[in-house]
Structure 1
Amino acid sequence: MTDSTQQVDTHDEAEIKSVILDYVEALDGRDFDRIASVFTDTAELENTFEAYIPGADAFTGVLARGAHAIAESVGGLMGRIDATQHFLGAMWFDLTDDGVRTRTQVIAHHHRGGGHYHTGGTYTDYFVRTKDGWRIRRRELHTVWTTGDASVVSGA
């Protein structure tokens, strides 16, 4: 069980923030191969959407397992969009039995042609320390709101 009196030290917190920022920079910079570098080889990426969001079922569930499969999945989805911009908000850090769990607020803007699809939610990341530093072993993206045309992302 996690000791709630312990906190993530400032060095680890800075490194973990850097990994989260690397992901967003790679995503918005369209460097989809680089996305794999923030995940472990056995990582899992899962999306969930609030039930009221139309078409949410198409994006809900485990999208990919493994760093390179995650990069391919995200690249396949985001590669058909002309531009994205992800804004990160508050971040929370909690020690776990095998690493650190973070929760990060995110607002994402997606644009294709004249259309847009904006979303807001939370990344919940489970970090483990590897020989290459902190990496994400599991990411859960929970989307709580959207606005715009979902076909911008779905390609429909």
Structure 2
Amino acid sequence: MGPKHFQNKARREWWSLHIEARRRSDLGIRKYCLQQRLTESTFRRWLKRLAGDETALKLEKYQTELRRERCRDKREKALRKQKQRRFMVTADVRNRASQAFWAMHVEAMNWSGMGLRAYAAAMQLSPHSLRKWRDRLDAGEFAITGARIFTPPLARPSTSARNSAPNVA
């Protein structure tokens, strides 16, 4: 393109509007050009012509850095959210298994007659966690629905010898 091409007032105005719109959109040059169906190389030529080489490079580097910061911020926010979720106790499907596990151990500990520390040591559980879940279950913080999770052998209905012996005639 010759110098006269860049002197055309209508073209200069049209491209300067696109350059300003791209700057405000926070999109990269490639994405903006694809979205607006513009040729990237032509856009870059007009950007250099209208803004100057150094200014165009500085602007591009600045906006690239802004996009990186936003991505970094999003990742950090997602990690913070994930860490918060990790330590919250909720009643969703994933935690039901955990609740059932601890409810079973608390009930087994109660039926066994063992102390908390002795039961935790025998089952290789954390005494702190067992105590925490025992207190939560005693406070009624969780309701395990459905059938009992653990029924000790002594509490099961007994079958007498008469019912289990085969009939001999």
Q: So what's the TM-score if we normalise by structure 2?
A: 0.24
Larger Rg: 2
Q: Which has the higher helix share?
A: 2
Q: So what's the TM-score if we normalise by structure 1?
A: 0.25
